[in-house]
Amino acid sequence: MTGRIRVGIVGGGLAGITVAIALSKHRHVDVHVYESSPQFTERGAGIGLSPLTLEALNNIIPSAIDLLKTEAGAVEADAARLVIVRTDRCLAPFPRLSSGTEAGALVADLGQGAGLTMNRAPLLQTLLSLLPKEILHARKRLKSLEQVDSGVRVTFEDGTNEHFDAVIGADGIFSTVRDHVLGGKEHAASPAGWWDCRHLVPFEKAREALGEESFKVDRQYAWLGDGAAMLHGLVENKTMVQCIIAAIDKSFSTDRKREVTRNSLNDALPASWYKGPVAKGMVDLILDQEDPKGYAQWEHKFTPTYANNRVCIIGDAAHATSPWQGAGAGISIEDAFIIGHLFSNISTAAEIESAFKAFDALRRPRCQQVVDNGRRTGRLFCGQDETVGVNAEKMGRELGLMFAPLGALDLKLHKEDALSIMQEFLNN
């Protein structure tokens, strides 16, 4: 087909592959994805997709929910349960088992239910299966971008070059495309102030270590307290449990990775937590792996624009956020949904710049709010908010305010706004 708009996507993670699927639906768009690693893979903690995220994904991939359940091992999850862990006595996971203390107090059940939780690796492989292999290019590390009159010239470190009408950067937190869009590293990622360690363990082992109460309902649990938090949730068709311990990093260290030992975890968790079964069980599960590591949480505190002529950034390259709201994957899927919709309504390369400007104008305020709310959510989870502390009632109220905007987006109106904004740019 002649006259197709040629789009190069830099980065083959969840954001890059999802936007590739959204664009490849349109016959007038020719898409190619470039991944720096030898293979298209995903690492990291399991993720949850909210009902809103699933609605956006279903617009990109019909019957997405059924696909994720059958192919990616996704598990339907009830609202996440948040419980305080601060005690001088035996920890109780429910309020009725606690008297006169915040220990075991229920903070909130957050979420609308009917979301899905899954591991990142099978999710990515499921999405990859929907794309033709000939458009996927591994071992292609970006060296430079140059915008010319006819489009964008891309040079890779292996010495090869490509020419595109547009380039979308989905190359993660430390994005090279981001540097091009912003003209340097002035707004590069920086430490968010926490680190976390995680491990994927068999369900029976997790239930034995953490107790029956935590698994009576299929949901994610978050245990909150002084300077740290613990989270666990079902993935892989309920056969595995993702376990996470996160703690504040007062030094805001720029080391991305650190050794994790029993001593370092004991230093990170309040001593009183060990009077109950969950903390000891979580520490034992985390350490039950070869060479356990802790990873710094990074974020983009501010991003002045997501677009520069015919180059734009999406996902973590545009708006990396701390993971406390579990929203990073969700807003990346929203990005792909809007990019796909905008490109379905343009027919020439001359319209790309207006499409990218509209994407920036529409998406940046929402994503910046997610970044900012994610940061405050982390402070609330770890009992570091000066006005809230470790008070169940105050925590529940403030966290409700932080999470409310995530599910409040009207996707139909969002699409309409995208086209309206793009039309304004086209008319000017």
Percentage of the chain beyond pLDDT 90 is 81
pLDDT of residue 101: 46
pLDDT of residue 214: 87
Q: Which of 259, 253, 254, 199 is nearest to 230 (CA)?
A: 199
- Is the predicted pLDDT of residue 90 greater than 60, yes or no? no
Q: Quote the CA–CA distance of 304 and 187 in Å, as a whole number.
A: 8
The CB density around residue 243, as the number of other CB atoms within 10 Å, is 27
The overall average pLDDT reported for the chain is 92
pLDDT in tens, 275-292: 777 899 999 999 999 999
Domain boundaries, the chain: 5-59+121-188+300-427, 79-112+190-298
Q: Quote the CA–CA distance of 156 and 203 in Å, as a whole number.
A: 43
pLDDT in tens, 7-40: 999 999 999 999 999 999 999 999 999 999 999 9
Residue 359: burial class (beta carbons within 10 Å; 0-12, 13-18, 19+): buried
Instruction: Give me the residue label for tokens 């959204």.
Output: 22
Task: pLDDT band for 251, please (50, 70, 90 cuts).
Answer: confident
pLDDT of residue 113: 65
The total number of residues shown for the chain amounts to: 428
The secondary structure of residue 28, as a DSSP letter, is: T
pLDDT in tens, 292-341: 999 999 999 999 999 999 999 999 999 999 999 999 999 999 999 999 99
Task: Concatenate the DSSP letters of all residues of 357-390 into one string.
Answer: HHHHHHHHHHHHHHHHHHHHHHHHHTT--TTTSS
pLDDT of residue 78: 84
- Is the predicted pLDDT of residue 225 greater than 90, yes or no? no
pLDDT of residue 77: 86
- Is the predicted pLDDT of residue 426 greater than 70, yes or no? yes
- 151 compared with 3, residue with greater pLDDT: 151
Q: Which of 23, 47, 25 is nearest to 33 (CA)?
A: 23
CA 407 to chain CA centroid, nearest Å: 15
Which of 64-78, 223-237, 355-369 has the highest average model confidence (pLDDT)? 355-369
pLDDT in tens, 145-172: 999 998 999 999 999 999 999 999 999 9
CATH of domain 5-59+121-188+300-427: 3.50.50.60
pLDDT of residue 91: 38
CATH of domain 79-112+190-298: 3.30.9
pLDDT in tens, 41-84: 987 778 899 999 999 999 999 999 999 999 999 999 888 889 88
Task: Please indicate, yes or no, whether the overall pTM of this predicted structure exceeds 0.85.
Answer: yes
Task: pLDDT band for 95, please (50, 70, 90 cuts).
Answer: very low
Q: Quote the CA–CA distance of 217 and 117 in Å, as a whole number.
A: 14
The CB density around residue 189, as the number of other CB atoms within 10 Å, is 18
